[in-house]
Amino acid sequence: MSDVNPRLAVLASGTGTNLQALMDDPQVGPHIVVVVSDRPEAMALERARARGIEAVVCRPADHPDRASHDRALRDLLLERDVGYVALAGYMRIVGPELIAAFPNRILNLHPALLPAFPGMHAVEDALAWGVKVTGVTVHIVDEEVDHGPIVAQEPVRVREDDDVESLRGRIHEVEHRIFPRAVRALIEGRLKVEGRVVHVLEELEEREGG
């Protein structure tokens, strides 16, 4: 375990299937203390409430500018003594003050193999480009969008007859598997960051098992 407490916040804007995967992971779920969304109608909030996890709305429209929204979000997390943050389909840029409060302790999930296809429309962009392989990236959040050091990646093949929906479906399956693993490594203090390279230390059982 790391020195940082493993209390985890999950930020989500949408349906929250990745939040669900995190809540369902026995090593991660119990550490989630709050789920925050920028959208009051996000299904992720309902999923959190159904688990008895605090669900909070923090809307940019309620703040005069981006920086004060960022500070409000940071303060909300600090008040709850959060140690780590997982962005599970959070469709906003995380600001510098929030990032500074959680250095190397925020993970983002992206539906493409970064640095290919950053941005909001990664699945559409990959299809339109005609790539034969795309995938999933989990990375540490830094001050540039979809840019920080990479923790995990897995390829997904593009099929001849794929459309956005079918490709997104297979990407989601991979996300639900690799995001909880990466978040587990994060909250267990097993990510060692050296410049752009992240070493993921093995789980204790695996190491002891030889």
User: 181, 153 in Cβ contact below 8 A?
Assistant: no
Six token digits for residue 189: 């203090």
**In the complex, what is the shortest distance from the CB of residue 110 to ligand GRF, in angstroms, rounded to a whole number?**
5
Whether residue 115 has a cis bond before it, omega within 30° of 0: yes
- Which is catalytic among the residues 31, 69, 110, 172? 110
Binding segment for ligand GRF (CB under 6 A), chosen from 11-19, 28-36, 48-56, 193-201, is: 11-19
Binding segment for ligand GRF (CB under 6 A), chosen from 12-20, 50-58, 63-71, 183-191, is: 12-20
Tell me if 180 contacts ligand GRF by CB under 6 A.
Answer: no
- Residue 87 pairs in a beta bridge with 11, 108
Give 83 or 89: the residue with its C-beta nearer to ligand GRF. Answer: 89
Tell me if 104 contacts ligand GRF by CB under 6 A.
Answer: no
Among 17, 68, 104, 153, binds ligand GRF (CB under 6 A): 17
Q: Which helix (H) or strand (E) holds 170?
A: helix 164-187
Tell me if 175 contacts ligand GRF by CB under 6 A.
Answer: yes
Contacts of 191 (CB under 8 A, 6+ apart): 104, 140, 151, 185, 198, 199, 200, 201
Tell me if 16 contacts ligand GRF by CB under 6 A.
Answer: yes
Measured at the CA of 121, the angle between CA 40 and CA 158, to 5 degrees, comes to 125
Q: Which helix (H) or strand (E) holds 85?
A: strand 84-87
Tell me if 111 contacts ligand GRF by CB under 6 A.
Answer: yes
- Which residues would be at the binding site for ligand GRF (CB under 6 A)? 12, 14-18, 88-89, 109-111, 172, 175
